[in-house]
Chain A
Amino acid sequence: MFTAKMMDSVKKVEATRKERMETEPRRMTAEEKEKLLKAYHPDYKEEEFVILKAGPNKGEKVPRELGVLLQARSRIKDTDVDLSSPDYDTDVLIIGGGGAGCAAAIEASKAGAEVLIVTKLRLGDANTMMAEGGIQAADKENDSPQIHYLDALGGGHFANRPLLLKKLVMEAPGALKWLNELGVMFDKDKDGNMITTHGGGTSRKRMHAAADYTGAEIMRVLRDEVLNLPISLADYTSAIELILDEEGRAAGAVLMNMETGELLTARAKTVILATGGAGRLHYQGFPTSNHYGATADGLVLAYRAGAKLLYQDTLQYHPTGVAFPEQIYGALVTEKVRSLGAMLVNAGGEAFMHPLETRDVSAASIIRECANGKGVVTPLGKGIWLDTPMIDLIHGKGTLEKRLPGMLRMYLKYEIDMRKTPILIYPTLHYQNGGIEIGADCQSTIENLFVAGEAVGGIHGRNRLMGNSLLDIIVFGRNAGTCAARRVKDIHTGKLTLAHIREMEEECQRAGIVTDKISPLLLPKYARTAGQL
């Protein structure tokens, strides 16, 4: 329930609604956007970043919290585990059981490889499950892959790696068809046409959805398919270091049972990292829309083994995280709410921007309003209004319930009916735009180490568009699975080694880094009291 003070502001939002609905707010010019981002986007807060002193990206900028983990100590010494008799021996080892990991596993298995998935929580525990709004593909008459390319390139500030972006947009229709044939229930009209909407920064309506359960629907189906195939699974098993062979190629991982702490080893001919993002590092103190396990583990593992990162200094703050009620603070309010017409409105009832600018611009704009006293005060900070009653007014009664059932349910639990009153939102840490650098075959700068999903850097440049992440986990997940499986035939793994752990530690020492921090983090530390167990 909103407070009386909030309700006063709601009245102002209601008072301007009719007039606002008659005029589409102006979109910002390129210069206006640039100025706004520099002034208000968290990526431009220099004091929140550090320069790496060791490792493949030495001299480059990273968020403070990530810098600590990349240059922290390993959980083990290189001599702690016996590499001569691995507990698991497989063709393809996939680290991470989300959308990218499962897509990779399905393709690698179908290509005839023996596959082992290790995941630190349950299969399907991933940001994929929480992606609500949609998945892009240029499959309509008025659309084409090159238009999709330009939208993503401009949205990404022209920093996207062209070959990766080409792959993303050209293989998008095929990825959707693949999902549809696995049984994903996309929203269609009675003739089978996909129901599509805009996302922030799209020039064509190419956002495909399954209500506001799009990611959950995809994840449920992929997980089920993995379980239908002869794929081995070790859940509640984290990877805590990569294992290389004497030629420096990826050849397995040191694993840890998340419940007993037991260390295990897996030897593999190829390794796919599909470890997802980093929202649970709470950069700059932001809340996050991410899964409990999003702690940048893959970046740490790969970096320590010598893989290069790309655009590790750019993060996505989703413009519309929950600002109130506090019990769901930071949870995602899907961009689809704006795709369906809801406007962003400040405390005074003014629509201060076009609701479908790209995410970085929208987030910066909301932060600006709140910084300038135009936000609504909440128990945990400030927020601005997302005028959700507009949706049924535009598209007809019942639309919100049908197309946003998850959102409606989430708010109704706190006695907020978003069909009748607007909701309070504020940016939430949502996506890691950067990650591990790969080529078009998904291989990192370490031979036989493939990467897919949010752990990759370069596909989206410096800002990702809505609906391109669910797309990339499928396109690049499948690609990684196929390429890693193809590679298996030619590989004779040499002697296994963990020497890189010692080497990185020595490099850090030489660089004068003094740390008692240990990485990968695996899970955020939310327990209030530090126990003695």
Chain B
Amino acid sequence: MNDMITVYLFGKKYTVPSNLTIMGAMEYAGYQLVRGCGCRCGFCGACATIYRIKGDRELKTCLACQTQVRENMYVATLPFFPLVKEVYDINEVPVNEQVMMELYPEIYKCIGCAACTKSCPQGLDTMQYIAYAQRGELEKCAEESFDCVMCGICSSRCPAGISHPQVGLLARRITGKYLAPEARHLTNRVREVEAGDFTELIEAIMAKPLEELKNLYNTREIEK
């Protein structure tokens, strides 16, 4: 039921069923993958891939596990890209644009070409979140970059040498820790647990005989 099609893995020609993903096609061709394969579900960014369809001049980008093969597809995977990852202490960072100036000053060299946005396999507006980072709008940067899988394709296409995924991650950590409002119910509950408010209650339930536990479970009230 599935047609066979021609693909070129790293330039070499293979014939594979048309219903496979690029990753599946590589395995069909006989590759035992070590690099360039991770969660196989589009969440880990291990299988960044660049491809071109024969006759088309444009280079396209994708995740190999989330993209079906096409006739005459030339495929090159990008299993690693040397992103810059700066070391910092999350407890000591400035909570404003200063943090970006100190750690990732190259974001100010962005020339606005939008190659990053165009290449993002998640469809994020990468250039926009870098712009937010430049302006110190860290919450907006966090929001806009939230679905980033850190595959690094954007950085591979960037003429300014920006490590976009790391910029987004820094903005998100600062947002999560400092800028989002505190969950007071969580702070309170931690204090109550530490004060021993639940110690007797948990010990009481642990001490109950099995039949009573079963009865409690089967008749427990479930919040609507």
Closest to B221 in A: A203
**A258 adjacent to B214 (CB under 8 Å):** no
| Segment 82-96 of B: residues with Cβ below 8 Å from A | 85, 87-90
Tell whether B195 is near chain A: CB-to-CB under 8 Å. no
| Segment 37-68 of B: residues with Cβ below 8 Å from A | 37-44, 46, 66-68
A173 to B187, CA, bound (A): 8
Tell whether B111 is near chain A: CB-to-CB under 8 Å. no
Tell whether B12 is near chain A: CB-to-CB under 8 Å. no
Q: Which residues of A approach B to under 8 Å, CB–CB?
A: 27, 29-30, 121-122, 124-125, 129-130, 132, 137-142, 144-147, 149-151, 153-154, 158, 162, 166, 169-171, 173-174, 176-177, 180-186, 188, 190-194, 198, 203-205, 210-211, 213, 215-217, 220-221, 224-225, 227-228, 236, 258-259, 289, 291-292, 326-328, 331-332, 379, 405-406, 409-410, 413-414, 523, 525-529, 531
**A528 adjacent to B147 (CB under 8 Å):** no
CB-based closest 9 A-B pairs: A183-B173, A192-B181, A154-B217, A185-B176, A183-B176, A183-B177, A529-B30, A527-B32, A139-B189
**B176 adjacent to A186 (CB under 8 Å):** yes
**B39 adjacent to A125 (CB under 8 Å):** yes
Cβ 8 A contact of A526, one of B33, B150, B176: B33
Closest to A187 in B: B180
A84 to B208, CA, bound (A): 53
**A153 adjacent to B177 (CB under 8 Å):** no
Tell whether B110 is near chain A: CB-to-CB under 8 Å. no
B residues less than 8 Å from A529 (CB atoms): 30
Give min CB distance, A220 to chain B, whole Å. Answer: 6
**A258 adjacent to B34 (CB under 8 Å):** yes
Give min CB distance, B69 to chain A, whole Å. Answer: 10
**A203 adjacent to B177 (CB under 8 Å):** no
**A158 adjacent to B214 (CB under 8 Å):** yes
Give min CB distance, B106 to chain A, whole Å. Answer: 18
A224 to B187, CA, bound (A): 24
Give min CB distance, A184 to chain B, whole Å. Answer: 5
**A124 adjacent to B44 (CB under 8 Å):** yes
Cβ 8 A contact of A176, one of B24, B182, B186, B218: B186
Closest to B210 in A: A158
- Can you list 10 A-B contacts with CB-CB less than 8 angstroms, sorted by A residue number? A27-B222, A121-B46, A125-B46, A137-B186, A188-B180, A227-B85, A228-B88, A327-B19, A331-B40, A526-B27
**A174 adjacent to B146 (CB under 8 Å):** no
**A406 adjacent to B38 (CB under 8 Å):** no
**B181 adjacent to A332 (CB under 8 Å):** no
Give min CB distance, A453 to chain B, whole Å. Answer: 16
A204 to B222, CA, bound (A): 6
Cβ 8 A contact of A527, one of B27, B85, B147, B201: B27
**B181 adjacent to A190 (CB under 8 Å):** yes
B residues less than 8 Å from A531 (CB atoms): 30, 32
A residues less than 8 Å from B37 (CB atoms): 292
**B220 adjacent to A183 (CB under 8 Å):** no
A517 to B94, CA, bound (A): 55
A residues less than 8 Å from B40 (CB atoms): 291-292, 331
A96 to B205, CA, bound (A): 35
**B223 adjacent to A204 (CB under 8 Å):** yes
Tell whether B172 is near chain A: CB-to-CB under 8 Å. yes
**B42 adjacent to A410 (CB under 8 Å):** yes
**A193 adjacent to B223 (CB under 8 Å):** no
